[in-house]
Amino acid sequence: MPEPIVVFRTLSQVEASVVRGLLDAHGIPAFIVAGGPRSVFPVSVSRLGEMSVAVPGDHADEARAVIEDYRHEEDGQRVVPMFDQFAALEQAIGYRFGDRGLLEHALTHSSHAREDVTGGVADNESLEFLGDAVLGFVVADLLFREFPDFDEGRKSKIKAALVSKVALARIGERLGIGEHLLLGRGEEKTGGRGKHAVVADACEALIAAIYLDGGVEPVREFITRELRPLVDQARRTGLVTSITGDFKSSLQEWLQGRDAPAPQYRVVGEHGPAHHRHFESARRAQRLGREVLVQSG
């Protein structure tokens, strides 16, 4: 068999697969060769983590001609157009990536990376780590600027709610991140696209990808926009209860912050089997001479 020759290089596994499929459609045998892992730092490093498409040497000229015929101009560069599977997600997040490979990396679950036979596909766990730090910084800066009169403890509680896995999962669901995840077959079968932990982790990785691709300002704009409703809720009430769901603690903190007496609880109903009983309680709190009744399950 003639010595293989590389005819196409890219940082995107998806683009490499498209080119291989294009060559296969023209009867040219092709295969993908993976390079090393991609850096997680916001600098350009050539030939790092690239995917190469190679063909037998006697098909190299024909393969190059097929690829060249398929190229077109985009932003002053000659590129191979491919099915833009992430266009809807980019529209939803309000940001278009210069390096589409970063977005692909952010959406690559470990199950997909494990099943890749080339061994060159990296999962998004390193991006999750970076995204967690970027999210924490942006939220801390946001709360510092918007709530200068809140003490450290109050800001810390709001921050914990805003950066929680629950908050991230809800952002991910709203953006439809689950629909775009690159999952392994096993994770796909067990409903990975709808798992809150998987979606939340991908949301963190997406934050890191935006930061690496565009810097601080685009990621600050994205995070601020997505968390704005909760920040506004904190401004109105001093709390973020719609994320945590811990209304009991929130009520007590709200009353303590206003020097009001602690609430009194009265069981008003119960149901369910003895080993898994559910109770309903009414909470009475005295404030400014009025009684407030809050129902909970």
Q: Domains along the chain?
A: 4-83 (3.30.70.1530), 125-240 (1.10.1520.10), 248-296 (3.30.160.20)
Average per-residue pLDDT in the chain? 79
* Catalytic residue set: 132, 204
pLDDT of the residue at 20: 82
Q: What is the mean pLDDT of residues 41-60?
A: 66
pLDDT of the residue at 251: 59
pLDDT of the residue at 52: 85
pTM summary value: 0.63
* pLDDT tier for residue 40 given thresholds of 50, 70 and 90: very low
Alpha carbon 181 to its chain's center:
10
H or E segment and range at residue 293: strand 290-296
pLDDT in tens, 245-286: 455 555 555 555 566 676 666 777 777 766 556 666 665 544
pLDDT of the residue at 46: 35
Cα–Cα nearest to 199, from 176, 215, 220: 176
CA distance 173 to 194: 8
* pLDDT tier for residue 51 given thresholds of 50, 70 and 90: confident
Q: Say which residues have a Cβ less than 8 Å from residue 218's Cβ, sequence separation at least 6.
A: 95, 210, 211
